[in-house]
Amino acid sequence: MLLGEAGTHRIEGWHQGMVQAVSSRPDHSLRMGVIGVGVMGSNHARVLSGLPDVRLVAVVDPDIAHRDFVTRALDCRGLDDLESLIAAGVDAVTIAAPTHLHHDLALACINRGIHVLVEKPIASSVEEGHSIIRAANRAGVTLMVGHVERFNPAVRAIKEAVRGEDILSIAITRVGPFPPRMSNVGVVIDLAVHDIDLIRWFTESEIVEVQPQLSSAVAEREDIALLQFRTASGVLAHINTNWLTPFKARTIHVATRKKYIIGDLLTRQVTECFGFQPDGSYSMRHLSVGHDEPLRAELMAFVSAIRNGTRAPVTGEEAVASLDIAIRCLQRQEVTTVSPRKGPRRVAV
């Protein structure tokens, strides 16, 4: 099973080490479960099983093949429904089931006092997202959303480089081939929502204008999106995303008044141009970038927020704001389908 957007490793190959790690957990470990162990959830399970002071109690998935694959690799229990996981006793869960199930699964856990990290996007709609936030506030549990790119060391280096700078523009490219299995969302909800979150996070400002261009060249849903934004602070940003590129590319360019920063999220190389001179010359330097696995850093941050009772580093409110912008991009226009055989047609989104 290959990793999703967030990861860089295969789940195979670490079975032995994980078995030892799980069996040596001390009793005060945080008891955790993973709900949905497909592409993303299997990685949650792998990472959680190796975290200090965390005990992966069980994973839940109605798909026997997915469940067995993970339970065999990690030597943890596999359950076929959420109620069995709750009965087994967990302090916290991560939810990586399909997005349309996030709301009901999150509420079922939150209402039992269980801390929740739910994968991005937080839910299928803004209303569902707000309902999850309200439930978490009522129950007093930690709610975090898996916008894992914030934990990518290259992204963190860019965030550091722009801290206190006057950001002028942001250009993000996130392209690649079609995923092996198509879900019921297009590139805006699946991919661009990562970058909408990054634009809001870098600028610390809300997006107030969206100008989307969408097209459905091959898939039913939009598979090309060129999205332009303006933030309340006046930053112009754009996202170029598609599933039509034969290779993956993930780049971020940020222009500030004094710097130009270029980051490659895959090679994790971040370069800063600075010291602009009237003759057009300037200096360049490579910024130091860490080596953490983003998902491990994200899950450690979730555990730390639970243990210390601190604010989750990616809150439900932030995730809903990003989902809201993504949905606005879809609502602003119809998708144009380009088909050489059938000719252009319009489909409602």
Ligand X SMILES: NC(=O)c1ccc[n+]([C@@H]2O[C@H](COP(=O)([O-])OP(=O)(O)OC[C@H]3O[C@@H](n4cnc5c(N)ncnc54)[C@H](O)[C@@H]3O)[C@@H](O)[C@H]2O)c1
Cα gap 194→191, rounded to integer Å: 6
Between 4 and 186, name the residue whose CB sits nearer to ligand X: 4
Quote the least distance from Cβ 309 to ligand X, whole Å: 25
Residue nearest ligand X, CB atom distance: 38
For ligand X, the closer of residues 41 and 263 by Cβ is: 41
Smallest distance from the beta carbon of 99 to ligand X, in angstroms? 4
Based on CB atoms, which residue is closest to ligand X, 167 or 314? 314
**In this complex, which beta carbon is closest to ligand X, that of residue 131 or of residue 228?**
131
Q: How far is the CB of 207 from ligand X (least distance, A)?
A: 20
Residue 82 neighbours by CB under 8 Å, 6+ apart: 35, 60, 105, 108, 109
- What's the min distance (Å) between Cβ of 58 and ligand X? 11
Residue type (1 letter), 209: E
Supply the minimum distance, in Å, between the C-beta of residue 183 and ligand X: 7
Beta bridge partners of 231: 207
d(CA 177, CA 249) in angstroms, rounded, equals: 10
Cβ(165)–Cβ(235) below 8 Å: no
> Closest CB to ligand X among 4 and 78?
4
Is 250 or 259 the residue whose CB approaches ligand X more closely? Answer: 250
**Cα separation, 137 vs 135, whole angstroms:** 5
Determine the 3-state secondary structure of 263 from DSSP.
strand
d(CA 128, CA 102): 9
Q: Which of 314, 312, 308 is nearest to 53 (CA)?
A: 308
Q: What is the distance between the terminal CA atoms of the chain, rounded to a whole angstrom?
A: 31
**50/98 with CB nearer ligand X:** 98
Output the smallest distance, CB 125 to ligand X, in A: 13
How far apart are CB 13 and ligand X at their closest, in Å?
19
Q: Using CA atoms, how far apart are residues 318 and 201, in angstroms rounded to an integer?
A: 9
Q: Which is nearer to ligand X, 79 or 303 (CB)?
A: 79
Longest Cα–Cα distance of the chain, Å, equals: 70
Binding stretches for ligand X (CB under 6 A)? 4-6, 35-41, 60-63, 66, 96-99, 101, 119-120, 146, 148
- The nearest distance, CB 162 to ligand X, in angstroms, is 22
Closer by beta carbon to ligand X, 99 or else 173: 99
Closest residue by Cα to residue 50 from 84, 16, 78, 27: 16
Give dist(CA 186, CA 329) in Å, integer: 12
Q: In what order do the strands lie in the sheet with 167-175?
A: 283-286, 269-274, 259-264, 249-256, 167-175, 236-242, 224-231, 207-216, 335-337, 345-347
Q: Which residue has the tokens 């190389």?
A: 269
Q: Kindly give the interhelix angle for 193-203 and 316-331, rounded to the nearest 10 degrees.
A: 120
Q: How far is the CB of 12 from ligand X (least distance, A)?
A: 16
